[in-house]
Amino acid sequence: MKVTEHIERANGKPLFSVEILPPLKGQDVNCTFKTLDPLVEMKPAFIDVTYHREEFVYKQKENGLLKRHQVRKRPGTVAICAAIQNHYKIDAIPHLICGGFTKEDTEDALIDLNFLDIDNVLVLRGDPIKSEKTFVPEVDGNAYASELIEQVTALNKGVYLDDELQETNKTDFCIGIAGYPEKHFESPNLAMDMFYLKKKVELGADYIVTQMFFDNQKYFDFVKKCREMDINIPIIPGIKPLSTFNQLKTLPQNFYLDLPETLAMEVLKAKDKETVKQIGLEWCINQSKELLEFGVPGLHFYTMSNSINTQKIANAIF
């Protein structure tokens, strides 16, 4: 079922959904099931599965030289989505990214997803790999999320890259995109970020999931700006509890967000790890309750494949 259909059928009742990482190479699907089993009890409407690009690593050769290899540490996004839908009968949503894919690769992946009865994709440009200062697209690949949306919508119309194909099958993917209440870190300002967000909606995006945030006012202002620009598709807030002292530094560094002063000061005063975790949980529970009062279409939790905190929060608010 499409995300938009889930929202419509909920009749105003907020949805619960989660995002997980694929297991590391060398692990099996049971690692995913172990993460999801406690969360499935909360009846999530859908489960997102992230996609991770190859990283370049250097390995020692016998002659002492270093050889460059491409390695994907978390393969299997499409297969994990198929396993989730088969095992739990819950809609799984793969992340579809530009980096690491040619347009042919993308089309083939979409064909596979269509064969697997996967109805939704979350379309993202993707981040640069560690060895890149800026994002570098594949040769003959999509350079921007907007181009990726155009390719998905073309397939939804039965338009394939090979224009000689006749009587082609039309796919019917529901397209999700990312929204940034505190703007994308590469955008020079929020106004330009909003301009490109609207372009993605005009190209065919069906719903928005936001980057994580810890200040609800940022989300409220973001929604207001969207509606003023006639961006009227559902905007699902993405949230995550702060759980370690180190995240005071890593979350702003990695996700380019602000942490509220009150939250940061409470964490700084904490005497041990458990206190920090409890502060983060209480903040996220209160944040979630305020978002529900605002009338959000759902709450999307970034679990990082750690289900315990998400389960505690969901039990407290749903």
Residue 132 has pLDDT above 80, yes or no: no
Lowest mean per-residue pLDDT among 65-69, 86-90, 161-165, 175-179: 65-69
What pLDDT does residue 55 have? 62
Instruction: Give tens-digit pLDDT for 165-217.
Output: 988 999 999 999 999 999 998 899 999 999 999 999 999 999 999 999 999 99
Chain-centroid distance of CA 55 in Å reads: 19
Hey, which bits of 125-231 come out as E strands?
Answer: 174-179, 207-210
pTM of the full predicted structure?
Answer: 0.93
Residue 56 has pLDDT above 70, yes or no: no
Unique residue bearing structure tokens 């690491």 = 100
Q: What percent of the chain has pLDDT over 90?
A: 81
- Architecture of the domain delimited by 3-317: Alpha-Beta Barrel (3.20)
Task: Count H helices and E strands in the chain, helices first.
Answer: 11, 11
pLDDT mean over 112-138: 88
What pLDDT does residue 217 have? 98
CA distances 100 to 48, 88, 103, Å, are 20, 30, 10
Among 21, 25, 27, smallest CA distance to 47 is for 21
CA quadruple 184, 226, 192, 258: dihedral sign: negative
Confidence band (pLDDT; 50, 70, 90) for 134? confident
Can you give the residue ranges of every domain in the chain?
3-317
What pLDDT does residue 52 have? 78
- Which secondary-structure segment (H or E) carries 92? strand 91-97
What pLDDT does residue 215 have? 98
Residue 118 has pLDDT above 90, yes or no: yes
CA quadruple 281, 282, 287, 289: dihedral sign: positive
Q: What is the DSSP string of 19-48?
A: EEPPPPBTB-HHHHHHHHHHHHTT--SEEE
What pLDDT does residue 226 have? 98
Among 153, 155, 219, smallest CA distance to 183 is for 219
What pLDDT does residue 61 have? 65
Residue 25 has pLDDT above 60, yes or no: yes
Active site residues: 19
Among 156, 160, 162, 124, smallest CA distance to 143 is for 124
